[in-house]
């Protein structure tokens, strides 16, 4: 529960809960029971106590009865305590993700909470606690839509204006989720064919990329990381654990996954930019043609830098960074670099195709040095400052070996969340051959050290819906449209696995990956 309840609004979604409960909530049966149920569920996971899961479920069922009683009364339905109770019920469902109902109950509770919130807004001005609750609700709805690949609901659009533009200015998670809401809308517009020209898609992608850069630039120092450099003469089995002799050290696992979500979003956007520029090239000439080629080159270069940074998170997120510390030669604390331009729009290409600005490159967002921009016709157009060779320079006989070192038990949430990112990186066509080989080696390593059935099911689901649902991959076997629960993760067990791999808030909770074993599949 530490990711939810705490005094610091920067890291807690329910920092207001203790004060609210002490003032009003203790007298509400439904809230008392949902707090007990959620707390027991979270503790049962971390302490590996299945007996407590059964007890928490009984308490949860009793709480649902009390919530339904409150909803049947016009006097109590719009109370803050009723909304809080429903939110805690949704939290319980995310803690367990029922084997019978999968993610259905999570969505159902969030829909009910939005209806209660809307009803309350129609009856009286929102209290301070209600505003905080609304912020938590909006974040939860956005994350649910992001994970399930469904559009933001119409009721969300009715209550969103009542939440401050930045949602929670103190919370890093809230800031990221706020940007993700724009990414979700963009993804849904792409699937719905809302854009009439490649240039319109290009402009929107670059604007959202600028938003993500701003998010990175405003990251507080406590979320930043150290770069740990290793000597280049280590044994082969040690080299295989680290890509390009550098790995990152984050203050906590949560921070590493949060950074990776930003990086992967930016990679998907630059894949889209690359795709749309390639389409526009066929009808362009002269200066416009050259700038499109430069933009393609810049997107390729930045994508490689971001992919390198995701690779650098692997040792910590797979729990073997402590082993590597004995080999560290030097460290460098990475801080966000502020953008030189006060206007993010200056980074994007102008909507008027006859007057395009310089192509968007990056001088701040990745905590890595700025990639050089090459002309796409140059042999070095897909390279960066990496010491690895480009695809054509690497001998095709190179194969990544599974390292001899084996760590302790992996955190399933962390491992599968990272596995999702690595599978998507493997689909980026212009990544260097050495990087792709290393990524494939890490994928094999995770699969060999995790529940094999879970890893196989996740791989199959990602194959059907790659790149977080962005239409940027030509990989065969895709199911491009529809929500995850209706098209990809059809069983409750698969839905639970998909949720586990996407929600970085649950890193550190013992999700018991063996739950997905082939024998228990319904």
Per-block mean pLDDT, blocks of 10 residues, the chain (522 long): 43 61 70 87 79 88 93 85 88 76 83 90 82 85 90 88 68 82 93 90 96 88 86 74 93 87 95 95 85 95 97 93 86 58 37 40 43 34 34 41 59 88 96 96 92 91 93 87 90 86 58 37 40
For 79, phi then psi, to 5°, come to: -70, 150
Cβ neighbours of residue 335 closer than 8 Å, sequence gap 6 or more: 221, 224, 367
pLDDT at 460: 94
For 431, phi then psi, to 5°, come to: -65, 145
Among 406, 305, 294, CA closest to 363 = 305
Long-range contact pairs involving 183-186 (C-beta distance under 8 Å, separation at least 24) = 183/146, 183/208, 183/265, 184/142, 184/145, 184/146, 184/151, 184/152, 185/151, 185/152
Cβ neighbourhood burial of 188 (10 Å; 0-12, 13-18, 19+): middle
For the packed helices 253-281 and 412-425, what is the interaxial angle rounded to 10 degrees? 20
Query: Do the beta carbons of residue 245 and residue 308 sit within 8 Å?
Result: no
Residue spans of the domains in the chain: they are 17-170, 177-520
Query: Do the beta carbons of residue 83 and residue 116 sit within 8 Å?
Result: yes
Q: Is 334 helix (H, G, I), strand (E, B) or coil?
A: strand
pLDDT at 462: 94
pLDDT at 62: 95
pLDDT at 370: 35
């Amino acid at each position: 529960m530490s990711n939810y309840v705490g005094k610091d609004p920067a890291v807690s979604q329910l920092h207001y809960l203790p004060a609210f409960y002490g003032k009003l909530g203790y007298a509400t049966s439904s809230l008392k029971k949902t707090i007990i149920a959620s707390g027991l569920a979270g503790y049962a996971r971390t302490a590996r106590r299945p007996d407590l899961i059964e007890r928490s479920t009984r308490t949860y069922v009793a709480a649902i009865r009390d919530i339904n009683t409150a909803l049947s009364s016009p006097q109590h339905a719009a109370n803050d305590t009723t909304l809080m109770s429903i939110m805690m019920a949704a939290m319980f469902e995310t803690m367990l993700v029922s084997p019978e109902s999968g993610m259905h109950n999570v969505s159902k509770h969030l829909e009910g909470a939005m209806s209660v919130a809307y009803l309350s807004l129609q009856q009286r001005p929102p209290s301070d606690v209600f505003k905080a609750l609304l912020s938590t609700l909006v974040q939860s709805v956005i994350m649910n839509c992001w994970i399930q690949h469904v559009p933001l609901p119409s009721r969300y659009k009715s209550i969103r204006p009542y939440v401050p533009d930045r949602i929670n200015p103190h919370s890093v998670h809230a800031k990221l989720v706020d940007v993700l809401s724009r990414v979700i809308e963009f993804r849904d517009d792409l699937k719905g064919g809302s854009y009439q020209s490649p240039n319109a898609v290009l402009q929107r992608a670059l604007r959202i990329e600028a938003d993500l850069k701003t998010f990175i630039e405003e990251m507080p120092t406590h979320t930043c990381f150290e770069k740990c450099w290793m000597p280049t003469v280590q044994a082969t089995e040690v080299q295989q654990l680290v890509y390009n002799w550098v790995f990152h050290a984050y203050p906590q696992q949560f921070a590493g996954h949060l950074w990776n979500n930003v990086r992967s979003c930016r990679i998907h956007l630059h894949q889209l930019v690359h795709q749309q520029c390639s389409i526009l090239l066929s009808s362009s000439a002269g200066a416009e043609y050259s700038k499109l080629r430069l933009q393609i080159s810049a997107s390729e270069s930045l994508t490689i830098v971001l992919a390198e940074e995701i690779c650098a998170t692997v040792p910590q997120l797979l729990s073997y960074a402590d082993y590597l510390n004995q080999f560290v030669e030097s460290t460098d604390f990475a801080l966000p670099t502020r953008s030189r331009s006060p206007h993010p729009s200056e980074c994007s290409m102008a909507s008027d195709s006859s007057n395009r600005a310089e192509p968007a490159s990056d001088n701040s967002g990745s905590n890595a040095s700025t990639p050089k921009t090459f002309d796409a016709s140059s042999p070095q157009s897909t390279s960066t400052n990496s010491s690895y060779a480009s695809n054509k320079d690497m001998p095709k006989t190179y194969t990544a070996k599974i390292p001899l070192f084996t760590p302790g038990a992996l955190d399933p949430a962390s491992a599968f969340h990272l596995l999702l990112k690595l599978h998507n990186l493997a689909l980026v066509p212009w990544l260097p051959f050495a990087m792709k080989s290393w990524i494939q080696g890490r994928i094999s390593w995770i699969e060999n050290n995790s529940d094999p059935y879970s890893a196989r099911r996740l791989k199959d689901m990602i194959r059907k819906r790659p790149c977080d649902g962005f239409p940027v991959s030509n990989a065969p076997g895709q199911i491009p449209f529809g929500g995850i629960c209706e098209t990809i993760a059809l069983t409750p067990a698969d839905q639970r696995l998909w949720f586990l791999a996407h929600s970085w808030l649950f890193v550190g909770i013992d999700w018991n990956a063996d739950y997905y074993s082939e024998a228990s599949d319904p």
